[in-house]
Structure 1
Amino acid sequence: MNNKFELSNEYALVRVLSVKHYTNNLFSFEIARPKKLRFKPGEFIMIGLIIRGELVFRAYSICSPTWSNTLEFYSVKVPNGLFTTFLHKITTKSSVIIKMKPTGNLILETLRPGKRLFLLCTGTGVSPFVSIVFNHETYIKYDEVIVVLTCRYSQDLQFFNNKLKQLTKVSYIRPYTKNKLRFYLSVTRELYPYIGRITWLIKSGRIITDLMTYNFNKMDRFMICGSRQMVFNVTKLLKKLGYNRGAINNPQDFVYEKAYISHFKGKN
């Protein structure tokens, strides 16, 4: 590594332990977890690559449980995206740079106490919610946890389906999820048992009907992660329904990751 990129204690150079490709554009990878790194479920860290002589960082949600010895991330290769084009090519012979201080708004502390937690996401926006559903405190705080994930095609659901299978094998978490964790997977560009975008699923009442559950009420809480347009549409709808946006210093009814929204207009 070139001396000009000498790292301070704020950063760590870590090995890539595994890479898994689900489609031509969707992939996940695991890296070694520095012993000093601590995070809350739902937080993200900055991952860096040296690209054409420059150190470039992007925000990535941590998919791993807080007790894992590794850190896992889920990514999409953005067409003509500088960072993800290089990231897509990493192997177990690669290393990446990470900033050692996780942060983010998608943590349970940003929400007021409630009964039902909806985790609303599209595509790779499911990443922070994987960590949250592997967290036993989530099920202590809520009577029901419902993951609503919308993708373009059914093959795009592979990563999350794999995580659900893993969850059933974790004896520590399994008792907490019993009769509490539910999920609603829909696609938008092919036939599938559930079809439609999240805003339509909520507006039409379809999601309530399909889940055979009660209507939205003041004890429902929401976390939102996905494309800029999806986050805009869903938060606008939730505000119209009378819910308020929360923050770490002001817990409310729903929250989204502000850092990602600013990134969507930038480079990928």
Structure 2
Amino acid sequence: MYNKFELSNEYVLVRVLSIKHYTNTLFSFKTARPDKLRFKPGEFIMIGLIIRGELIFRAYSICSPTWSDTLEFYSVKVPNGVFTTFLHKITTKTSIIIKITLTGTLILEALKPGKRLFLLCTGTGIAPFISIIFNHETYTKYNEVIIVLTCRCSRELQFFNDKIKQLTNQSHIRPFVRNKLRFYLSITQEPYPYTGRITWLIKSGTIIADLMIYNFNMLDRFMICGSQQMIFDVTNLLKTLGYIEGVTNNPQDFVYEKSYVSQLKSNN
């Protein structure tokens, strides 16, 4: 079935190894990792499916540590979304297409040296940050790494909670994480110890008070990933606070995943 599309050498067919469903719409899956595939924490890859005779690709951040022999992805089934509706139905008998070339703006090299790294995300925007917090270099570059994740309801936190448990069981990364990794989980649509959207948490000073940390300063660095509106609001807020967007050839104070913004404009 795939051969008639005459895939070039930059694409490879990989087998789905496992799938885990967290809610009716949230799920993660692992695939085999091609030997020649190399990536940096935070990068994304193009995943392809043949849907109704058409080969369709979407960008997916890699959740896996760089040293893992599998690739893991985290996805949401978008209502009436062409791609995610089919992706949601994959099984271990399924194979998918991936593009070997990787890219992405959420990499540590795009940030100047600093003291604290804030990973700001909503929903499945946590995906690239999983790879980043499993990377020992993250902790050698920063004194503190603080994840701020907001979801609609508490059951949507299960994937993240599973990853934190796995992280604490990794003996070779645990010494780097100890006393450096913190996280702030906020829910927006049901009662929870922490509530509110990221922009409000920052503007109101709530996150500073709740975490009992000193206020934001120019040695703080930020990575942002999530919904289009959240990225727009947070990046504009950071700019008003005096922070500058960075890229790999001009490292600065914050970066955000641009592929999510463009992809959300398309049919998922």
TM class by shorter-chain length? over 0.9
User: May I ask how many residue pairs the two structures share in their alignment?
Assistant: 268
Q: Give me the whole-angstrom Cα distance separating, in 1, the residues matched to 2:52 and 2:211.
A: 49
Counterpart of 2:50 in structure 1 is 50
Counterpart of 2:105 in structure 1 is 105
Q: Give me the whole-angstrom Cα distance separating, in 2, the residues matched to 1:7 and 1:67.
A: 27
With the length of structure 2 as denominator, give the TM-score of the two structures: 0.99
Render the CA deviation track for 1:128-153: whole Å, top value 9, x for unaligned. Answer: 00000000000000000000000000
Render the CA deviation track for 1:189-248: whole Å, top value 9, x for unaligned. Answer: 000010000000000000000001100000000000000000000001000100000011
Counterpart of 2:83 in structure 1 is 83
Render the CA deviation track for 1:5-54: whole Å, top value 9, x for unaligned. Answer: 22221000000000000000000000000000000000000000000000
- Work out whether 1:246 is the aligned partner of 2:246: yes
Counterpart of 1:265 in structure 2 is 265
| Root mean square deviation, CA, Å | 0.6
Q: Give me the whole-angstrom Cα distance separating, in 2, the residues matched to 1:126 and 1:259.
A: 14
Shift of 1:123: 0.1
Q: Give me the whole-angstrom Cα distance separating, in 1, the residues matched to 2:84 and 2:31.
A: 16
Shift of 1:264: 1.0
Shift of 1:2: 4.7
Q: Give me the whole-angstrom Cα distance separating, in 1, the residues matched to 2:47 and 2:2.
A: 18
Q: Give me the whole-angstrom Cα distance separating, in 2, the residues matched to 1:151 and 1:2.
A: 37
Q: Percent identity?
A: 78
Q: Give me the whole-angstrom Cα distance separating, in 2, the residues matched to 1:262 and 1:2.
A: 27
With the length of structure 1 as denominator, give the TM-score of the two structures: 0.99
Q: Which runs of 5+ in 1 are unaligned?
A: none
Q: Give me the whole-angstrom Cα distance separating, in 1, the residues matched to 2:259 and 2:3.
A: 30
Q: Give me the whole-angstrom Cα distance separating, in 1, the residues matched to 2:235 and 2:125.
A: 15
Render the CA deviation track for 1:163-201: whole Å, top value 9, x for unaligned. Answer: 000000000100000100000000000000100000000
Shift of 1:3: 3.3
Q: Give me the whole-angstrom Cα distance separating, in 1, the residues matched to 2:189 and 2:42.
A: 28
